[in-house]
Amino acid sequence: MRKVLTFLGATLGVAAVVPASAQTAPDMFKDMDTNHWAYQAVESLRAKNIVIGYPDGYFRGKRTLTRYEFAVALDRALKSIPTSAGPAGPKGSDGAAGAAGQNGEKGDAGPAGVKGDPGMTPEEVATLRRLTQEFKDELTALGNNIGAVSRKVDGLAAKVAAIEEAWNKAPKIYGGAWLGIRADKANGRYTDFDGRTFTGVGSNSLVNTPAVVHEFVVGVKANLNGGGTIDGALTTNNYNNYLGGNNAQITGLNLNPGSDTYVHHLEIKTPLGALGKNGQITIGRFGEAMGHLTLMKPDSDRSFMNPFVDDGKYYVDGIRVNASFGSVNAELVAAKTGSNQGNNGTGFGLNSPLAGASTLAGFNGNLFTGAGMKPIGQSYGGGAMEVDQMAGLKLSLATNLLGHEGHLGATILGLNNTLGNVGGGFTSVTVFGANYDTKLSDKVKFNGEYSKTTTGNGRFATVNSDKNNAFTANLSLPVGGIALNVGYKYIDPLFYAPGYWGRIGNWINPVNIQGPTVRGKLDLGSTMGLTFGGEFYKAAHNELGTGGLSSNDQITRGTVGLRWDLSKSFQLTTDYEMVTWKLGAGTAQVGSPTGQTTVRPTEQYITLGTGYALTSSTSLKLGYTIGDFNGHGRLQNGSGFVNNFNTFTSQVAVKF
């Protein structure tokens, strides 16, 4: 029936119907191309004897329908709709020994007393109803009782509604699989694209033994009585163990990871009418993110794109309440993060937020875990704190300032550690945040975000009471054919929010920086696009005495990328990133040459990629990164050595 309406309602110009009641459709139309886009629809209508063509066996699809011919086709379509059920036959006489009498004629049956799926949507039934009213005079002339036809359509609408309701209540199974392979090539020790440093030799080296990682997810969604929902999924993977047990930070890779099975998420949502139109409570394990400068999971592994991990959310166990009060939307969250663990026995949460920069150093077997070893200057407190508990409130208000619609937000987030594995100096972090976005015109937009952190030890002992602010501001506007974004970024050296505000080369979440940024996008046609960007930083504070950036140090980052769509399912990409450092005397001195006052370390990365959509739900990606790092004896990452590396990755993702 769906094809009937699609054909009659959307392709009038290619249909031909002869109003001859005695004629039947031929076995096939002589002039219908089997490769034509409408062939299956026409064939379905021919098989149902709704479209019968001309007496000579031709379809003549280029001929436009007359109004009467359309009415004839509509009449046949209405007659093809089955009745609700056949009448019950008379009850048979009682047989001997209680045997049942003869069964009456069996009517049409369907699940739960409803006729089986008529193959239509409510929208298609509404279209059929409109067509019936539009052509009621012609249908009457063809011998139809319009009242009976309307009742028939009403009965069909009721069946479709009942089937749709039953379908919506039925549980839905979903899931997917992801597989990735990574292999490196290098001579000796090297620092990769993410800041992880390897010796390049031994059994724990990607140069000799490629890493094979995977993740399988299966879940179910269902509606509950009263408007609630339940959504849960299990995962079996070795990817989290490959990342070192916490995919929210950069740690040493485990190149021979074991598999783990655990609950990916399990959330029950129930509406709360007392909290406004959109009031809702969520209980269980769910994904949570609040903002780049407050709470957002970093991408700690740019080599792979795991669709079940790279969503920017921390999966926590707790409760979340959403409420609306007029134009104000509120979200309240209280949760544990360390409880989300696998069975690998590490004792770490799989994605516990990290408040502060990762400053791990030293060798673990053949792997140098020198993650984040840039001149960060976060010496107060001993580095990062792994978060075990969190509670937060986020407010959002629709605004209209000077005639420009926008949104104003405020966040307060409390973070604690009760695990005893604190980096040192503090056991709690409080994050205060605010954000504003507005549309200044049809093509010009502004967004800004501010955040401040306060670290503490116990209830009343405050640590790091200054140098703990951060803000970003961006203005998006068109310049010629370029979609341009200009902005400014400021991050204090003692800013400890568990967010994700970017990278400089292989330095994740850089701190003690300030400077302008620019990004642009230019379409070079329907199949090609160019992107470019520049960031120009200097130190926000002189942290020379703590091993950080000094006031004279500078960092410049430039990027350029090219995208080429060979087809709708096949894409090629090329990306280049270069970072140049200007470091003065005494900054991050590791093996610094005697008498050298200014050095200029460099990082360069070229990434070639291809993406191929094998089907609508299956994609294949290949990547090849060429990296060059030269610390010039001053930049700590890689202990100041010159190193080159190549990384090849292949990955496939399937969703159902």
Question: Is residue 388 within 8 Å of 419, Cβ to Cβ?
Answer: yes
* Whole-number Å distance between alpha carbons of 213 and 196: 18
* Whole-number Å distance between alpha carbons of 307 and 613: 15
pLDDT at residue 174, rounded to an integer: 95
pLDDT at residue 116, rounded to an integer: 42
Q: Residue 108: helix, strand or coil by DSSP?
A: coil
Q: Residue 369: helix, strand or coil by DSSP?
A: coil
* 218 vs 636, more confident: 218
Q: Rg (Cα) of the chain, in Å, rounded?
A: 33
pLDDT at 253 over 90: no
* 431 vs 243, more confident: 431
Q: Of the ranges 14-23, 267-276, 310-319, which one carries the lowest mean pLDDT score?
A: 14-23
* Whole-number Å distance between alpha carbons of 41 and 45: 6
Q: Residue 121: helix, strand or coil by DSSP?
A: coil
Give the CA distances from residue 474 to residues 85, 144, 160, 488, 608, in Å, rounded to whole numbers and listed in that order: 64, 66, 49, 7, 29
Nearest to 447 by CA among 438, 456, 455: 438
Nearest to 199 by CA among 508, 645, 504, 578: 645
State the CB neighbour count (10 A cutoff) for residue 162: 16
Question: Is residue 651 within 8 Å of 304, Cβ to Cβ?
Answer: yes
One-letter identity of residue 576: Y
Task: Give residue for tokens 């994740």.
Answer: 508
* Whole-number Å distance between alpha carbons of 576 and 599: 23
pLDDT at residue 364, rounded to an integer: 34
The one-character DSSP state at 12 is: G
* Whole-number Å distance between alpha carbons of 415 and 333: 12
Question: Is residue 142 within 8 Å of 148, Cβ to Cβ?
Answer: no
Residue 63 exposed, middle or buried by CB count within 10 Å (0-12, 13-18, 19+): middle
Average pLDDT over residues 65-92: 64
Cα end-to-end distance, the chain, whole Å = 27
Average pLDDT in the chain: 79
List beta partners, residue 175: 218
* Whole-number Å distance between alpha carbons of 396 and 398: 7
Average pLDDT over residues 84-100: 49
What is the pLDDT confidence band of residue 2, given thresholds at 50, 70 and 90? very low
CATH superfamily, with its number, for domain 172-655: Porin (2.40.160.10)
What is the pLDDT confidence band of residue 138, given thresholds at 50, 70 and 90? confident
pLDDT tens, 377-428? 455 445 678 888 999 999 999 988 877 888 999 999 999 887 765 555 788 8
pLDDT at residue 40, rounded to an integer: 65
Every domain of the chain and the residues it spans? 2-88+101-169, 172-655
pLDDT at residue 380, rounded to an integer: 43
| In 170-303, alpha helices (H) | 239-242
